[in-house]
Structure 1
Amino acid sequence: MKALLPLLAALPLSSFLLVTPSAPAPKYAVADIPATLREGAHAVLRADDEVVTVKSAGRLVHTVHRVVTVLDAAGDDFGRHAVSYDALNAVNYLRGAVYDGDGRLLHQLRAAEIHDQGVGDAGGSFMTDVRVRYADLRQPQAPYTVEFDYEVVSDNTLFYPEWQPQEAEGLAVQSATLRVTTPAAVPLRYQERQLPAGGTVAHTTAGGQETYEWKLADLPAVDEEEAAPPLAYSTPAVMLAPSLFEVQGHKGFASSWQSFGQWNYELNAGRDQLPPATLAKVAALVKDVPDARARAQRVYEMLQGSTRYISVQLGLGGWQTFPASSVASNGYGDCKALSNYTKALLAAAGVPSYVALIGAGSDRPDLRTDFPSSQFNHVVLCVPPAKGSRADTLWLECTSQTNPFGYMGSFTGNRHALLLTPEGGKLVTTPRYGAAENRQVRRIDLFLDAVGSATATARTLRTGQDQDFYSQLLHELGPAEQKKYVTDRLRLPTFTLTKFNLAATPAGPVPGVVETLGLSLPGFAMPSGKRVFVTANLLSRMPALPAQIGERKAAVWLPEACLHADTVRLHLPAGFRAETLPTAVQFSTAYGTYASQYLALPDGTVQYIRRLELKRGQLPSSAYAGYLDFRRKISIADKAQVVLLKMES
């Protein structure tokens, strides 16, 4: 090194400038984003360039280049990215960089900064080979821009990538492209949704390859709006699916529900054999039960008392079930295995049934029935009625140890499912739960005293989907945690909970949970001179919605039909009488119906009766003004006050 020093000293200054590495040229400056895209946005997707290359019926490669500018702290989630992989999906690379607001490179992601971790839980209810590579390039101060590049090679062509660049509210899209290349012998199937004018596919053919391209540009951020549908229903998307596929040597066709269901049925055929001891147990269980439905109930209750749920996502195990004999021996299985096991138990009891694939989740959109593809994440069991029977089709959730017999609820009810039969897949519908099933019936006795305080007892029966969450509380939390949850959500200014209980109702057509409360309400209705003003609607007030700012974009989404009925009995303090009762209110709209009335009863009490029925459906954005008015009228009526007058002694 010393020998080089004289030579370096003799070189002109310009020579040093030539050999010194220069900083990368700035790119992705925030100033380059059009003002129309920054308006109302927390982040801007500068580029989302995705390439899907179908190599064969059994392999595809998905390459992504993604650039997001984070404008404020609410957009920070876009500053990190995760890519999942498993035995059938390999991550070739994950690279990243972050830039400041002027587009200058701040940091290049290093391999040591990429976290690699398994997906699972501490309770041991997952058996999975799924792992995640995760990179976090969030900065302490916005704006900044993150850039990610990654590639996934998939040997599970049952699933093609979905393309929906505008994946969240508050995200604007400056540029996004999707290119799919596939051999002509492996035809692509796709469905375009909500694409803007000019956004449809460009299709070319060359050298035995089919190429499809889509482009999106300059999409302003979508505001979060009240009563709006999931973004899957409102922002541009392209769904991709194979015509033929192969998973670990198992070939299938997905061009129809029949063929897709056939593949799944054959994949699991012959895995429903039970050990002799289990067959004998079932025979003894149902020997004195002639009715098929009663036999099914005994089998289901045996299942609930002898098995537990785990999730299995191990390669093909995500689709192929454990044998029924394995569940019989081990006492556990995933949704596929438990449904297959229950199917075998029912067959031993002389009750035919079918496994059904379903997209489960209370907030999950229903299947796109016009686009056969793998849209499922769960398996249940369907028991059709016997020929000539007038009974309804029976549905069983085989993963739950607490679900009432035959009840689907908000997790799997009100949607389509794919029945797996020897003849292939058949689309069917699960039970529909409407206002007759989803009920909240509340009775309150409110006792007022002469100095303005009150006590109350409240009994609330919730049934159907209205009880789903409370049933979860009942079975998963202890009494103290249940009480805290309910206490934290009572919309009362000052109160003490003096009594609390949750209990399931006896078995019926739909399950129910009864909540019993005792309340102490100091300063509830303070006298004003000789009068007391009392709001009778203690626990069921429905608030008005804020006025729409700007033009309404989203449709009006009413996801659940329900009926709420309240009866409140006001017990007046000695020496008081009802001076003024609110006028009865009644109206009916496309969104629901409402009625309330007040009666002075002969025993000196005042009775308030309220009935609210909400409808289920999706209405155009133009209907939102009417929905606002509907909610405003309910809010006003719910706040109405009874005027009590102190009588002269």
Structure 2
Amino acid sequence: MSRPLLTVAAVLLVQSGIVSAATAGAVPHYAVADLPAALRENAHAVVRYEEQTLVVKSVSRTVETNRHAVTILDEAGADWATQLVYYDQLNTVSYLRGTVYDAAGKVIRQLRAADVRDFSLSDGFSLASDGRGRAADMRQANYPYTVEYEYEVVSTNPLFYSSWYAQPKEQLAVEKSTFRVVTPTNLPLRYKEQHLPSGASVVHTAEGGMEIYEWQVQNLAAVEEEHDAPPVAELTPAVFTAPTEFEVQGHHGTLNSWQTLGQWNYDLNAGRDELPAAMKARIASLVQGETDERARIRKVYEFLQANTRYISIQLGIGGWQTFPASSVAANGYGDCKALTNYCKALLQAADVKAYCALVRADEPDIRTDFPSSQFNHVILCVPLTKAAKADTVWLECTSQTNQFNYMGSFTGNRHALLLTPAGGKLVRTPRYGVAENRRERRADVYLDAQGNATATVRTLRTGLEQDNFNALFHSLAPAEQKKRVADILPLANFSITKFSLAPGAPTGLPTMVENLGLALPNFAPPSGRRVFLSANLLSRWSSLPAAVGERQADIWLDNAFTHSDTIRIHVPAGMKPESLPAPVKLTTAFGTYSSQVLALPDGTLQYVRQLRMPLTHFSRTEYAAYVEFRRKISAADKAPVVFVKTDS
């Protein structure tokens, strides 16, 4: 039977700190022997008890308490014995408490104030950040044991309400987890439920002018991570909440649609895009005589990159409200909001209209069906209004190296909230698929009679395929670039004799070109009169294991790309091919694959391989077919070429 709801009075006593959650409800027992065997299976840790409560005090203030106990079964679950509580100018930590219990449920020690580290969460390049953390570490040397934490955070930033992830990680079981929201009737709660199991308890009551919502799950077995599956947090029970009305440091807003959220952000920054007269004149001179709208935008963007640098500002309302454009013009720096607003102002001086857009960068896309504050970054959207063909230019204003009109994996392939005078509008950022994300490799392999080889390899990468290598090029010295590339080469025995990494010829997409010289000792040692080698030098794909039992998650193939390889194999005189792999061609819904080895008239062999994988999602029932697709690719990639010596 589910535990009954706490009364409003009891909840408020807990929030005030007059009583603890333990005395307001049932006192949990954490003896490991009490754990059901089913919850230990495939688990590194088990949530014995969690109670997360959000109390909405007013339009401008919330209080969140969290109390949870986790039994750590082995070293792989030890991170659950640590706790970090974030705070800043708008969020205050009232307390952080902790207790460790041994396997029998006996108290080992209590968390002391001296055990809690208080430190800045500055990222190292912020000009100003008030983000801090209180961290506790109660890991023990002997397993199993149980750690219990309790903390409270008072927030004057009700733009963000709590989210409840009952089972956020793989190999974590849950004995009981409860999420509760208490809100005044005149501040209705907006919420979205995800994957609640059939046995979940969901209760909504009203008492004394307050609305009380409670969700509870029990006895959730550990979930194992599956190949090519979405993150476990996307598959397990969760509840997301948001306000209908909020106020942050005197700035009032409503949040019942993307339009109203965008309106609040737009109004917060309205009028902060005024430039000094001298800067307006400088931009007018920069684009004078340039009639092509895209070219005008490019000139302004390149000016921005050459004359500004990124720093982070995270102070109170500064998390959303930009520095004025005049400040960036004077100082030459700003955070994502300030630089984007500044670029917008520069474009305005060049007679080009642009709009700031909120986006969730470097993380999965937002939940488009639940309007709420899910964003962490700002970019610039520039609709082409004077071009012959309708189009849109997107600008990442924080980067001094990004190619014009390229979003990359950081902000591409997702939704953004366009901020307009009429409010917010969801739009899509540029999509990068199999045609854009290419890796094209050409190599020559020279084999000697002893089985040693050398190789020259040229690899062209475009779109998302080049993102990581572009970052290497701009952030590391050549020697360190070479080391990083060596670390990812799928070769057992090699050395790099030549190396270069540099941007390729300018195109609509950024490109990176990597040139390698390789020494490959004992690459294909003779076996009697024969030599066996794989024509596929660097692009072998692995097979996947069959599902053990029933597959639980759908298949998410979120990395769209085209990989092409052309490899010429040069062998010494007195050696000829005896057996070549049969050509392989696979055409499936998952992707397409082909490979072939041809004997050329000059005595060399040419291996040609292509793999195209679109961005697609499939039902979990298709996993067996996907495994077979991968198995066939793996087998083809490993298929040997057999040479025979003719001069012995």
TM-score, reference length from structure 1: 0.94
How far apart, CA to CA, are the structure 1 residues paired with 2:164 and 2:342? 37
Structure-2 residue corresponding to 1:237? 238
CA contact (8 A) 1:45 1:172 kept: yes
Aligned counterpart, 2:138:
137
Q: Counterpart in 2 of 1:314? A: 315
Q: Which residue of 2 aligns with 1:92?
A: 94
User: Does 1:410 pair with 2:412?
Assistant: no
Aligned equivalents of 2:543 and 2:99: distance in 1?
46
Say whether the 8 Å CA contact 2:125–2:312 is kept in structure 1: no
What SS does structure 2 have at the residue aligned with 1:153?
strand
SS of residue matched to 1:433: coil
Report if aligned partners of 1:26, 1:102 keep a CA contact under 8 Å in 2.
no
- SS of 2:165 mapped into structure 1: coil
Supply the distance in 2 between the matched residues of 1:254 and 1:573 (Cα, whole angstroms): 73
Aligned to 1:422: 421
In the alignment, does 2:270 pair up with 1:269? yes
Determine the structure 1 residue equivalent to 2:282. 281
Bigger shift: 484-493 or 100-109?
Answer: 484-493
Say if 2:130 and 2:315, in contact at 8 Å, map to a contact too: yes
Q: Deviation per CA, 1:370-411, whole angstroms, max 9, x where unpaired?
A: 100001000000001215631421100001111000000111
Match of 1:113 among 109, 115, 118: 115
Cα distance in 2 between the residues matched to 1:567 and 1:83: 52
Match of 1:627 in 2: 626
2:57 and 2:183 in contact (8 A); partners too: yes
Bigger mean CA deviation after superposition, 621-630 or 437-446: 621-630
Match of 1:146 in 2: 147
The answer on whether the counterparts of 1:230 and 1:365 sit within 8 Å (CA) in structure 2 is no
> Which moved further from structure 2: 471-480 or 577-586?
577-586
Q: Is the 8 A contact 2:81 2:138 kept in 1?
A: yes
Matched to 1:59, the amino acid is R
Aligned pairs (5 A) from 1:301-340: 301-340=302-341
The 5 Å alignment of 1:176-325 reads 176-199=177-200, 201-325=202-326
Alpha-carbon separation, structure 1, partners of 2:215 and 2:359: 30
Task: Specify every segment of 5 or more residues in structure 1 that has no aligned partner in the other structure, as ranges.
Answer: 1-24
SS of the aligned residue for 1:577 comes to strand
Shift of 1:366: 1.1
- How much does 1:552 deviate? 1.8
Q: Could you give the per-residue CA deviations for residues 9-57 of structure 1, whole angstroms, max 9, x where no partner exists? A: xxxxxxxxxxxxxxxx993100111110011100000111011111111
Q: Which has the larger radius of gyration?
A: 1
Alignment of structure 1 residues 449-598 onto 2, 5 Å: 449-598=448-597
In the alignment, what sits opposite 2:21? none
Quote the Cα distance in structure 2 between the aligned partners of 1:521 and 1:108: 58
The amino acid that maps onto 1:55 is K
Report the equivalent of 2:7: none
Paired residue secondary structure (1:339): helix
Native 8 Å contact 2:292 2:387 kept in 1? no
Partner letter of residue 31 of structure 2?
A
CA displacement at 1:323 relative to structure 2: 0.5
User: Per-residue CA shift, 1:55-94, capped at 9, x if unaligned?
Assistant: 1111111011111110100000000101111111111111
Query: What's the counterpart of residue 19 of structure 1?
Result: none
Secondary structure of 2:608's partner? strand
For residue 159 of structure 1, report the CA deviation from its aligned partner: 0.1
Secondary structure of the structure 1 residue equivalent to 2:163: coil
Normalised to the residue count of structure 2, the TM-score between the two structures is 0.94
How many angstroms does 1:529 deviate by?
2.3
Instruction: Confirm or deny: 8 A CA contact 1:26 1:103 kept in the other structure.
Output: no
* Superposition RMSD in Å: 1.3
Distance 1:207 1:634 in 2: 65
Q: Size of the alignment, in residue pairs?
A: 622
CA distance in 1, matches of 2:201, 2:45: 25
Are the equivalent residues in 2 in contact too, given 1:563–1:612 (CA < 8 A)? yes
Report what 2:342 is aligned to. Answer: 341
Report the alpha carbon displacement of residue 367 of structure 1 after superposing the two structures with TM: 1.3
In structure 2, the residue corresponding to 1:102 is in which secondary structure?
coil
Displacement of 1:646 after TM fit?
2.0
Mapped partners of 1:165, 1:456: distance in 2: 52
Between 153-162 and 540-549, report the one with greater CA deviation: 540-549
Whether the 8 Å CA contact 1:26–1:105 is kept in 2: the answer is no
Code of the aligned partner of 1:312: I
Q: Deviations over 1:402-440 (max 9, x none)?
A: 100000011100000000000000000000100000000
The amino acid across from 1:167 in the alignment is P
Instruction: Supply the distance in 2 between the matched residues of 1:126 and 1:132 (Cα, whole angstroms).
Output: 18
SS in 2 for 1:355: strand
Q: Which amino acid aligns with 1:344?
A: A
SS in 2 for 1:630: helix
Tell me, yes or no, if the aligned pair for 1:163 and 1:237 is still in contact at 8 Å: yes
Identity %: 60
SS in 2 for 1:301: helix
SS in 2 for 1:345: helix
Secondary structure of the equivalent of 2:342?
A: helix
The DSSP-based 3-state class of the residue aligned with 1:201 is strand
Q: How many Å separate the matches in 2 of 1:97 and 1:200? A: 28
Paired residues for 1:19-98 under 5 Å: 27-98=29-100
SS in 2 for 1:583: coil
Q: Do the aligned partners of 1:292 and 1:350 also contact (CA within 8 Å) in 2? A: no
Preserved CA contact (<8 Å) 2:554 2:617: yes
Letter in 1 for 2:224: D
Give the Å deviation of 1:510.
0.8
Q: 1:126 Cα deviation (Å)?
A: 4.9
Return the letter of the residue paired with 1:512: T
Deviations 1:500-528 (A, max 9, x none): 11010122111110010001111111222
